[in-house]
Amino acid sequence: MTVTLHGAPDNTWSVAVARGARKPQRARPVSPDAVEAAVAGLGDPSSLEAVTTLLHAAREEARQRVDALSRELEEARQALAALTESGPRRTPLT
Q: What mean pLDDT is reported for the chain?
A: 89
Q: How many CB atoms lie within 10 A of CB 1?
A: 7
Quick one: what percent of the chain has pLDDT higher than 70? Answer: 90
Task: List C-alpha distances in Å: 54 to 1, 19, 51.
Answer: 25, 27, 5
Contacts of 58 (CB under 8 A, 6+ apart): 11, 32
pLDDT at 20 (0 to 100): 84
User: Rounded CA gap, 61 and 73, in Å?
Assistant: 18
Greater pLDDT, 89 or 37: 37
pLDDT at 13 (0 to 100): 95
On the CB side of 7, CA atoms within 13 Å amount to: 19
Residue 38: pLDDT above 80?
A: yes
pLDDT at 21 (0 to 100): 81
Task: List C-alpha distances in Å: 68 to 57, 72, 87, 90.
Answer: 17, 6, 28, 38
Residue 90: pLDDT above 90?
A: no
pLDDT at 72 (0 to 100): 97
pLDDT at 11 (0 to 100): 86
